[in-house]
Amino acid sequence: MPVFKAVVVKNILAVPFTAFTEGNNSVIVRNSSIPFDILLVKKSNGIYTALEMKCSHQDNPLTANKTGLFCSSHGSTFDLEGNVLKEPALKPIKKYKTEIESSFVHIIL
């Protein structure tokens, strides 16, 4: 999965549409000032979902693939909306608000 290193400006991460490669509707957004990566998912209806890659069970990092997110520490899995598919996690993972501006998706931190 592609990784895009974004800069935080005024609490916003700006990700260009070009960060999404052909045939891949997800990109991992990384910035050293935020503790966990963010999975940015482009949906077929032009809506974008930004999910913090931190397990809601015990705050471990998550691994992303084309169908969802997985916690290798305890086995929790989440769908691309952040909902729990498999416990021990009980709560969905954090979603960030997104906005489209020009040719960028803004993730509001």
Per-residue pLDDT tens listing for the chain (109 residues):
899 999 999 999 999 999 998 888 999 999 999 999 999 999 988 899 999 999 999 999 999 998 999 999 999 999 999 999 999 999 999 999 999 999 999 999 9
Domain range for 62 is 3-108
| C-alpha angle 71-100-54 in degrees, rounded to nearest 5 | 15
69-70 and 95-101 beta bridge pairing? unpaired
To the question of pTM greater than 0.75 for the whole model, the response is yes
Strand order in the sheet with 26-30: 3-5, 26-30, 38-42, 48-52, 95-101, 104-108, 12-16, 8-9
- 7-27 burial, b for 16+ CB within 10 Å, e for fewer? eeeeeebbbeeebbeeeeebb
DSSP H/E element including 76: none
What's the structural domain count of the chain?
Answer: 1
CATH number for the domain that contains residue 62: 2.102.10.10
